[in-house]
Amino acid sequence: MSMVMIAAIAFVGTHFLLSHPLRAPIVGRVAEKGFLALYSLVAFATLGWLVVAYRSETVTNMLWPVGDGLWAIATIVMLLASVLLMGSLIGNPAMPDPDGAVRVPAQAKGVFAVTRHPMLWAFALWGLSHILVYPVAKNIIVALAILILSLVGAALQDRKKEQLQPAQWREWEAKTSYWPFAAIAAGRARFGQFGAHALAGGVVLWLAATWAHMPLAGRAAGIWRWIG
């Protein structure tokens, strides 16, 4: 597992280094476009390395038995992740804005009432669900890498936004929560008002992604495990 582990550390580590401590000095030397080109090159190179290492590694024994119960949990978790991901694509103040402004919604609704980091939590839930149903060493390493990258990245994003746009981002933090459903439980947000792009788009993505498991991974996933 050494090559998979090294590639995973490189993928996650370079992302954090380039996104945070190295970003400012690199931008100062090569400007924003040069930094984005370098960041994309490193991200694709380390991701490609991780994919190659994963495919070349042998499959170890599963660490625990996986039956229909765990598959049902993972299927529901992936549906939630799909809704969070699709909902994060519209009205997300964390997404880059052409003029550099932070546009904080007047009210946290839909996926943003659930968490202010719906995209990153979607990736984290993907990692969790894949650990549940495929607990072999190389898969656990890759899924943990995605989970750590997402959740630590969300916390670091908050810190960066607090420094760059303190008033706007702290206003958004007061309406939302890092942890899913924490703002709803605390009364700072109200569950509901999901857009069609989140619900319908999430269901379509969930159905398509789980169906693609058969041709891509050779095993049925999601509801296709029972109806395929």
Q: How confident is the model at residue 21 (pLDDT cuts 50, 70, 90)?
A: confident
Q: What angle do CA 70, 73, 79 make, to 5 degrees?
A: 140
pLDDT tens digits, one per residue of 25-37? 998 888 888 989 9
Q: How far apart are CA 138 and CA 156, in angstroms?
A: 27
pLDDT tens digits, one per residue of 107-151? 899 999 999 999 999 999 999 999 999 999 999 999 999 999 999
Contact (CB, 8 A) for 171 and 56: no
| Residue 130: both structure tokens together | 């894949």
Q: How far apart are CA 185 and CA 199, in angstroms?
A: 22
Q: How far apart are CA 177 and CA 116, in angstroms?
A: 6
Q: How far apart are CA 72 and CA 93, in angstroms?
A: 33
CB atoms within 10 A of CB 115: 25
Percent share of the chain, pLDDT over 70: 96
Task: Provide the CB-side half-sphere exposure for 134 (13 A, CA).
Answer: 19
